[in-house]
A and B are shown apart, each in its own frame.
Chain A
Amino acid sequence: NAGVTQTPKFQVLKTGQSMTLQCAQDMNHNSMYWYRQDPGMGLRLIYYSASEGTTDKGEVPNGYNVSRLNKREFSLRLESAAPSQTSVYFCASSDGWGQGWGEQYFGPGTRLTVT
């Protein structure tokens, strides 16, 4: 049981390049999330998916797109990277209603630098 996995762990991009951050969970959770963490800002929600086939914007969605590929996988795409997107990105999942409501399980993060 790996929990939430993210690839890659580290990435350096040049301004204007594109990339996709991958996330998968093996806990059969309905909900999945993408956050970014910046110094002094805490974690901010980029996008989330309450169930397979649905996605919704969070607090800071500009410059990002997401795909909920199936129940297990939720990817985050940067179409044209900007230095302001330099951050640590975390994927998370949760069970929603029922046991452990609100408790989100996080992946180890992807450290992205845009030069």
Chain B
Amino acid sequence: DQQVKQNSPSLSVQEGRISILNCDYTNSMFDYFLWYKKYPAEGPTFLISISSIKDKNEDGRFTVFLNKSAKHLSLHIVPSQPGDSAVYFCAASPTFGNEKLTFGTGTRLTIIP
């Protein structure tokens, strides 16, 4: 039972345009959400997070949006750069203080120069 779903295994975007990666979850107990980025042969690295008390969080070119009623979050990258080509995982955690993360299956983003 996949509690965190990334339904698009891959996405290609032109350099300079907006990349939008989506994530859906089923567990209403999830309260904190994170995005990780992974390059080949490396471990994932933390990108950005959002708490359920917010609906938006920005960090430079990266913005995460959370729609709790729809159990949906998205990551926007603007503008997209070639170095953004990687696999992106969303992850979720239940109530604050619980460090067990449930990861989605990942979306491979390719930025076309």
Which A residues fall within an 8 A CB radius of B? 4, 31, 33, 35, 40-45, 48, 50, 58-59, 90, 92, 94, 96-97, 100-109
Contact = CB atoms under 8 A, between A and B. Distances in A.
B25 interface: no
Contacts of A94: 99
Contacts of B105: 40-42
Nearest to B90: A42
Given A41-B105, A42-B104, A109-B43, A103 B89 contact: no
A102 B49 contact: yes
Contact of A108 (B6, B32, B41, B49): B41
Interface string B88-111: 010001001101111111100000
Contacts, number: 60
Interface string B20-39: 00000000000010100000
A108 B44 CA distance: 8
B42 interface: yes
Nearest to B47: A103
A104 B104 contact: no
Most A CB atoms within 10 A — which of B6, B43, B93?
A: B43
Contacts of B96: 101
Dominant secondary structure at the B interface: loop
B45 interface: yes
B100 A102 contact: no
B101 A42 contact: no
Contact of B43 (A59, A96, A101, A108): A108
Contact of B46 (A4, A33, A40, A104): A104
Nearest to B32: A102
B49 A103 contact: yes
17 contacts: A42-B6, A42-B103, A42-B106, A43-B44, A45-B101, A48-B100, A50-B99, A59-B102, A90-B44, A92-B43, A94-B99, A101-B96, A102-B34, A103-B34, A105-B46, A106-B45, A107-B43
Contacts of B46: 100, 103-105
B43 A90 contact: yes
A101 B95 CA distance: 12
